[in-house]
């Protein structure tokens, strides 16, 4: 789960990906199944960041769950003060994404 910074991947997350992606082709990140979620205060809820993150994962040969996209816009209205997600639709999408992620992990493992 990531926010969006200036239409892109927050620098700290990008730096973590860059480190985890070395040595190229043999890194800890290489080929690992992935899933992306994002939340931001903007209307499009990290859509631009997610596209850019998908590119970085593609370069690292990481299969990534395609659907559902979890874009939590206006996030300040969808979490309680303790940080729990309170929006029903967003909660359902997160649950479905995690279910699809589990399937992707099992599929990827059976191919190794």
Ligand X SMILES: Cc1cc2nc3c(=O)[nH]c(=O)nc-3n(C[C@H](O)[C@H](O)[C@H](O)COP(=O)(O)O)c2cc1C
Interface positions with ligand X (CB under 6 A): 3-7, 40-42, 75
Minimum gap (Å) between residue 2 Cβ and ligand X: 8
* Residue whose beta carbon is closest to ligand X: 42
Report the distance separating Cα 93 and Cα 38, nearest Å: 12
Residue 64 buriedness (CB in 10 A; 0-12 / 13-18 / 19+): middle
What are the beta bridge partners of residue 71?
38
Closer residue to ligand X (CB): 29 or 75: 75
Minimum gap (Å) between residue 41 Cβ and ligand X: 4
Q: Are 37 and 1 in contact (CB under 8 A)?
A: yes
Minimum gap (Å) between residue 30 Cβ and ligand X: 28
């Amino acid at each position: 789960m990531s926010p969006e910074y200036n239409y892109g991947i927050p620098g700290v997350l990008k730096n973590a990906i860059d480190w985890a992606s070395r040595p190229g082709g043999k890194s800890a990140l290489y080929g690992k199944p992935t899933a992306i979620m994002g939340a931001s205060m903007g209307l499009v809820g990290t859509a631009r960041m997610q596209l850019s993150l998908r590119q970085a994962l593609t370069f690292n040969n990481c299969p990534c769950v395609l659907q559902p996209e979890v874009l939590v816009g206006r996030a300040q209205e969808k979490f309680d003060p303790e940080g729990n997600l309170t929006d029903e639709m967003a909660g359902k999408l997160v649950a479905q994404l995690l279910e699809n992620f589990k399937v992707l992990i099992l599929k990827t493992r059976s191919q190794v």
